[in-house]
Amino acid sequence: MKEARAGAPRFGPPIAVQIIALLVAVLIVGQLAILVVVTVMPPPRPPIYRIEEIAAALKGGRLTPRYAPAMLRTVEAAPPKGRDDDNRFRTASLRAELARTLGVTEDHVRLTVEPRPNFPLLYGGRGYHPHERQDDRGGGPPPGSPFDQGGGPPNEPPSSFGPGQVGPAGVGAFPPPGLSAPQPPQSGSDPAPPPPGADGSASWGRRHFHHGPWGGFPRGFAPDRQGFVVGAMDAAFEAQPGRWTVVRSQSEGFPNAWQRRVLLWFLACLLLLTPAGYLFARRLTAPISRFARAADRLGRDPRGPPMALKGPAEIGVAAAAFNEMQARLARYVGDRTAMIGAIAHDLRTPIARVQFKLQRAPEDLAADIRGDLGQMEAMIWAVLDFVRDASPVRERGPLDLLSLLEVVADDATATGADVELEPGPVQIVEGDASSLQRLFVNLVDNAVKYGGSARITLTHEDGDAVVRVSDLGPGLPSEEYERVFEPFYRVETSRSRETGGIGLGLSVARTIARAHGGDVTLASKESDAATGSGLIVTVRLPRPKG
């Protein structure tokens, strides 16, 4: 691809490549964020309820276990429905231990351990996953799937569990193997230690849970001597016939620890990627805005500077084509202007001849023709001015705009025109004196020609020097405001009049103003009885900084 664009080494890679690179970068950042969240943060722990804590709560004692949030206690007519049966094997020994602790027979005690994570949003309240019921039949959880461990083949051997999670399942108080969910936080009731002295393997929990995905047992928890339940549970105790005291773990609301973790990961990715995305978008769209600006510039002045050939390859190619088009356009305009100028120039010698020949003509005829010649001459000057001002500005330098306006006003007054320059502050602008003088001469001439008089003010607004030339004439309909700046355009009334001119004055004025970084605009004067309507021509020229 590089070879294909050998002629334009400044171009960046194509947009497609850039976007693919961005996607890959996003992927990598996202994965890194997960890695950081998983490795740096301690994993959330499931609640742990000791059998003696459950028993105390069922008896009406404390509801706050040491390693779990507070439990809820209710009194009901019946034990929690059906659950006990489901978990019969799994919790049998724990239930027996609970009954023993409470000092009653197992008939009066129910214990259910929820093997599921409790995500209300996913499962709908404290609902159960459809696969849950398989647990008792020994469905093994597929590794790496924290929320769904029920899909595995039933009766999978315990070795399929993650390392160090269940281990020698079934020891001690454990129900048949393969019931627990290794990864999700609150799932699984697996790590129930055997009742004290059951078969001497009471220490399995420590061995296998210390480094489990939940981060092992909390500090200070000794699973050796006590039965305990990990994860959400409910326990019921029939203290009197038909009166069941039920104690359940409180569900961890939204967001629970894992949800918080996912949100954190999402936020981290967002924070990391938003600036990158912004920069990327900027990088991609900057050439497009540059394009828009260049097109706008081209509309005003085909001889403007060419666009910079930077940016993605596609845009670079388009920019090169655009610049070529602009160059052709500039050449075309230049040729045409030069031709107009040449014609105008060559007309001057014959006119000069006629002027000398007129000396021999009868005086009344000569005066008549001289008038016509004067008009032709004025047109030629206008065309030549136009051609000249279409060329780049020549010598630029700081210039006292007020003094220039004084000269313009003075010269106009000397020819008998009613021109007044209002006193104003000195404004220094950067420019070419002769073109600027021509600009204001044109505007003052127009004002005098169509409006009978010209009133010039000089102020400064927003860092610009602003000159307003107003007259007391009939003004212009606002739909003509832009058209009158077109070369050779004249408003209808001006053609029929003996005002001469060929419709270049305003066009020249605007060309000059824009070449100086300013502009010429038209506005209508507020109509009032005293002064009549009139046109205000506003010229803005930027003042040099500092």
SS3 label, residue 419 = strand
Per DSSP, what are the bridge partners of residue 235? 111, 247
Whole-number Å distance between alpha carbons of 172 and 20: 56
Is 199 or 400 the residue whose CB approaches another protein more closely?
A: 400
Q: How far is the CB of 465 from another protein (least distance, A)?
A: 13
Whole-number Å distance between alpha carbons of 30 and 36: 10
Out of 8, 34, 104, 433, name the contact with another protein by CB under 8 A: 433
Determine, following the binding rule CB under 8 A, whether residue 359 of this chain makes contact with another protein: yes
Whole-number Å distance between alpha carbons of 34 and 37: 5
Q: Are 336 and 352 in contact (CB under 8 A)?
A: no
Q: How far is the CB of 350 from another protein (least distance, A)?
A: 8
Q: Considering only 112-120, 124-132, 348-356, 526-534, which stretch makes contact with another protein by CB under 8 A? A: 348-356
Determine, following the binding rule CB under 8 A, whether residue 210 of this chain makes contact with another protein: no
Size of the site for another protein (CB under 8 A): 36
Is 251 or 355 the residue whose CB approaches another protein more closely?
A: 355
The site map against another protein for 434-453 (x = CB under 8 A) is x--x----------------
Determine, following the binding rule CB under 8 A, whether residue 384 of this chain makes contact with another protein: yes
Is 145 or 355 the residue whose CB approaches another protein more closely?
A: 355
What would the two tokens of residue 350 be?
Answer: 């014959």
Determine, following the binding rule CB under 8 A, whether residue 353 of this chain makes contact with another protein: yes
Report the candidate in 353, 351, 344 with the shortest Cα–Cα distance to residue 371: 351
SS3 label, residue 65 = coil
Determine, following the binding rule CB under 8 A, whether residue 398 of this chain makes contact with another protein: yes
CA atoms within 13 A on the CB side of 226: 15
Q: Are 245 and 60 in contact (CB under 8 A)?
A: yes
What would the two tokens of residue 138 be?
Answer: 């020994």
Report the candidate in 507, 485, 500, 413 with the shortest Cα–Cα distance to residue 454: 413
Q: Which residue has the tokens 């009471």?
A: 202
Determine, following the binding rule CB under 8 A, whether residue 348 of this chain makes contact with another protein: yes
Determine, following the binding rule CB under 8 A, whether residue 418 of this chain makes contact with another protein: no
Determine, following the binding rule CB under 8 A, whether residue 337 of this chain makes contact with another protein: no
Out of 156, 377, 418, 480, name the contact with another protein by CB under 8 A: 377
Determine, following the binding rule CB under 8 A, whether residue 543 of this chain makes contact with another protein: no
Q: How distant, in Å, are the alpha carbons of 190, 199, 231, 294 from that of 204?
A: 11, 11, 18, 76
Determine, following the binding rule CB under 8 A, whether residue 497 of this chain makes contact with another protein: no
Determine, following the binding rule CB under 8 A, whether residue 378 of this chain makes contact with another protein: no
Interacting residue ranges for another protein, rule: CB under 8 A: 345-346, 348-349, 351-360, 373, 377, 381, 384, 388, 394, 397-400, 403-404, 406-407, 410-411, 414, 426, 428, 433-434, 437
